[in-house]
Amino acid sequence: MIFLELPKRIEDTRALLRQFSEAGLRPLSRKYDLLEQKEMPEELYELSKLLGSGNRGGGRGAAKPGAGDEAGNRNANNMSMVVSSAEICWGDVGLFLALPNVGLGNAAVSAVATDEQKEEWGKLFAAMAITEPGAGSDSAAIKTTAVLDGDEWVINGEKIFVTDGYRSKQVVVWASLDPTLGKAAIKSFLVPKGTPGMTVTRVEHKLGIRSSDTAQIVFDNCRVPKANLLGNPEIAKTAEARKKAFGGVMQTFDNTRPMVAAQALGVARAALDLTYDLLKEKGIELDYEKGYHQMSAVENDLYDLEAEYETARLLVLKAAWMADNRQPNSRNASMSKAKAGRMGNQVALKCVEICGQLGYSKAHLLEKFARDSKIIDIYEGTQQIQQLIVARQVLGKSSSELK
């Protein structure tokens, strides 16, 4: 069963990260939002040292119950990461994504790499390159190829919308060993930045998360050592084995989707907290003892937003808890991402509306929270794709049966 109270060790971490976000990230928010990717947030190098060796990639599986956990109830790396992600994103989502030494590609390394690969690459800042011009939400449709030539893989293809693709130290690239075999032949490869044949061709200008870069990368006969393939290099021979093999590749998302959903929790909480501060300056404060008939329209809206936030928060915690306790969480991961992604954007936009001119003005960060929130409903699988995944699992349909 799931216990709704976080253990003390995670609560202590959450409190420290709130201080880190408030004192370290918030003062930099507007500066690097305006500069966009023109400058690397140099302050982040020192700030990231305060976070220690923690990895926001997740996916390391369950640990033994810690102090304060109930017997048999494990709150390990995944739970720690969603709570930590939410708190840092309360400070600034873009700066969270730009923090050196950790990235979404680290999740793939943690999920499928061997112990030797984790030791060599696990702590390096890694981006993850999946999306292509002709393959967005359908990861199985990617056209990038990897062909074994002696002791090296030769990678050819184009990737777009790679978060941290410009500043990262390495990129985890999804490529097919044999496009005729479909999704069963898709593997992930670790490509260090600076490898010949790998070129960052464009950095996007964006609505939100402007302090984090989003890049297009082209691979033209890019060669990496044979050992840079993550996971099992063999292509399954039977249909059932191929299905399981691609399921293993997709398992990365079961770890990362709750963490991306937690980003939406952080933005929504930030928007609500700032809204309360701005309203308080105008003499408006919430009173939870009021009856429904006594509430103003603004109060009613805020109570509804709090309810939406709490619903999403519990879904995210459950998905993380299931991962830590080695329970299949694919459906729950997608549910948490779908709910939190939409909630974060709706809450932030409604807070802008409630605060009127103060919400729309750059005098406060509320308008920035609204801009930053939209991408969370899109990347790591769009709202529509998450709903499709949930529908398939609820109805017991395959991807070919329900598109």
Is 380 one of the catalytic residues?
A: yes
Q: Which of 132, 299, 367, 380 is catalytic?
A: 380
Using CA atoms, how far apart are residues 56 and 78, in angstroms rounded to an integer?
A: 9
218 to each of 143, 159, 161, 176, 300, how far by Cα in Å? 12, 6, 12, 15, 50
**Cβ burial 47-56 (10 Å sphere, 16+ → b, else e):** bbeebeeebb
Query: Do the strands 198-203 and 214-225 form a parallel or antiparallel pair, or are they unpaired?
Result: antiparallel
**Residues β-bridged to residue 243:** none
Q: Tokens 């308008």: give the residue.
A: 367
Three-state SS string over the chain comes to CCCCCCCHHHHHHHHHHHHHHHHHHHHHHHHHHHHHHHCCCCHHHHHHHHCCCCCCCCCCCCCCCCCCCCCCCCCCHHHHHHHHHHHHHHHCHHHHHHCCCCCHHHHHHHHHCCHHHHHHHCCCCEEEECCECCECCCHHHCCCEEEEECCEEEEEEEEEEEECCCCCCEEEEEEECCHHHHHHHEEEEEEECCCCCEEEEEECCCCCCCCCCEEEEEEEEEEEEHHHEECCCCCCCCHHHHHHHHHHHHHHHHHHHHHHHHHHHHHHHHHHHHHHHHHHHCCCCCCCCCCHHHCCHHHHHHHHHHHHHHHHHHHHHHHHHHHHCCCCCHHHHHHHHHHHHHHHHHHHHHHHHHHCHHHHCCCCCHHHHHHHHHHHCCCCCCHHHHHHHHHHHHHCCCCCCCC
Name the residues annotated as catalytic.
Answer: 380
